[in-house]
Amino acid sequence: MAADPASEALEEEQHGTRLQRIALVAGSALCAINIWTGAPLLAVWVGSHLQKSATGLSMTAVFSVIAVLAVMVGLLAWALAWLNQKYDEVTGREAAGRYTSPWLRSMRGEREVDVRRKFGISTIERVVIVCVIGAVLTFEIWFFFFAGSSLPAQ
């Protein structure tokens, strides 16, 4: 018995969509992790290559670290927003309305709870939340248990 061509096409389309969703979620996880790890490491690496002497710290190195970090975090945040938009397109999720600051809203405007209930949190947003919580917890564990004291011993 031959399978229905329409159901085969639908199954193939869903499989492609599933692969696209997995790729978008993996890309967003990479971006979110690199905001905390890759961007600072790259900025320090660039600053270390611009450092002239081994004895003192130059302002060129400091400003280059700040500039590279700002650019990289900005690019990664833009990439996360783009990935979230593409994920919404692939899944057919309705785009959220433009966000208006509370002090600019009408007194009879929609409540934030209603907007959240309508749009919810996407999988990409959940991945970013998990990455941020993981980064903060990792930092706290390192700081409190492994970093040791920077104060001189007496």
Which of 63, 39, 42 has its CA nearest to residue 51?
A: 63
pTM: 0.71
- Compute how many other C-beta atoms are within 10 angstroms of the C-beta atom of residue 43: 20
13: pLDDT confidence band, cut at 50, 70 and 90? low
Q: What is the pLDDT of residues 95-112, one digit of tens each?
A: 666 666 666 666 555 566
Are the beta carbons of 34 and 63 closer than 8 angstroms? no
Q: What is the pLDDT of residues 42-87, one digit of tens each?
A: 999 999 999 887 788 889 999 999 999 999 999 999 999 999 989 8
Give mean pLDDT, residues 14-42.
89
The vertex-78 CA angle with 29 and 21, nearest 5°, equals: 40
Which of 39, 37, 32 has its CA nearest to residue 129?
A: 32
Q: What is the pLDDT of residues 115-154, one digit of tens each?
A: 566 667 788 888 999 999 999 999 999 998 988 877 777 6
In the prediction, which pLDDT does 125 show? 86
Write the single-letter amino acid at 17: T
Give, in order, the Cα–Cα distances in Å from 3 to each of 6, 8, 54, 68.
9, 7, 72, 56
